[in-house]
Structure formats: structure tokens, C-alpha cells
Amino acid sequence: MGNTINGKALVEWFKLYGGLKVDDTGFIGWSGADYIKDNFEKAKAGMWWELKAASPFKGFDLESALQRVIKEHNAVQEEIVGLTDEDKAKVKLHVNDATIQAVLKLCNFDAIIGEEEVKDDEFDNLDVEHAA
């Protein structure tokens, strides 16, 4: 079964209901027969394949996250003209001051004030007029 999601779910099931203890090297012990007896009914009710192993941390890239928001915003700006009034009402473009301040802080804005403007062709259209 190897290091598959199903394999991880099976290991998790044995940890939860069989009292097996593991570390990075594999199984290192168990909690004893009483642990199994105490958890036997729960084990019968919860099949191992129903458990989902936790997804590994995939990291985080603030630059990419902000670029996705900008691109999505620009796409909505282009699409809003063709939307029905009902759908237009679902588009919220207002950003409150607290959110703006938080984004500026994330981007270390205070440190770049006064520096020469950096031009990025991909984001030249950010100064577009916002549709209401």
C-alpha cells in the first residue's frame, strides 16, 4: 500500500482504535489490550477507509495569492457589464479601511514609500474605473 492516502488512513485507524503508536520510522509501540477493548465498538462503527489523512502543508506564497485576487477582480470588472441586475448585486467591490490597511501592512507599504515606482506590465490596468 506504500505511502498512499489509503495507507495513511489505515495507519490513522490503527492509531485511533488499535492504540498503535507511530513516529517517522514506523510503529513504535501500542497502548495495550485494554485500549483495544475500550475502543472496539467505535472501531466497528468507523471503517478505516472512511478516515482521511491530513493533507500535507503545501506552503503559501503571498505574492501569488495577491495576484490571484487582482486577476479575479479584473475579470469581474470586465464581466460586470454583461451581468443581470440580480447578478450585479452579488458583486461586492467595496473594501473597508481596515482591510486596506491590513493589505498595505502585508505588502510592507511603509518601507517602499518614496522609492521609485516599479512598473509591471501585467498590472498596468489596476487604475481602471470601478463599476458600481
CA atoms within 13 A on the CB side of 61: 5
pLDDT for 131? 44
Query: Per the confidence metrics, is the pTM higher than 0.85?
Result: no
Residues 2-58: tens digit of each pLDDT: 555 577 777 888 888 888 888 888 889 888 889 888 988 888 887 777 776 566 778
The answer as to whether 55 is a domain residue is: no
Residues 90-113: tens digit of each pLDDT: 999 999 988 988 888 888 877 666
Domain count, the chain: 2
The pLDDT of residue 66 is above 50: yes
**Residue range of the domain that includes 111:** 62-127
Instruction: Indicate if 74 and 46 belong to the same structural domain.
Output: no
The single-letter code of the amino acid at 86 is: E
Helix ranges restricted to H, 19-61:
33-45
Instruction: Indicate if 71 and 32 belong to the same structural domain.
Output: no
Instruction: Identify the sign of the CA torsion 57, 58, 61, 62.
Output: negative
Residue 29: beta bridge partners? 21
The answer as to whether 11 is a domain residue is: yes
pLDDT for 17? 84
pLDDT for 128? 46
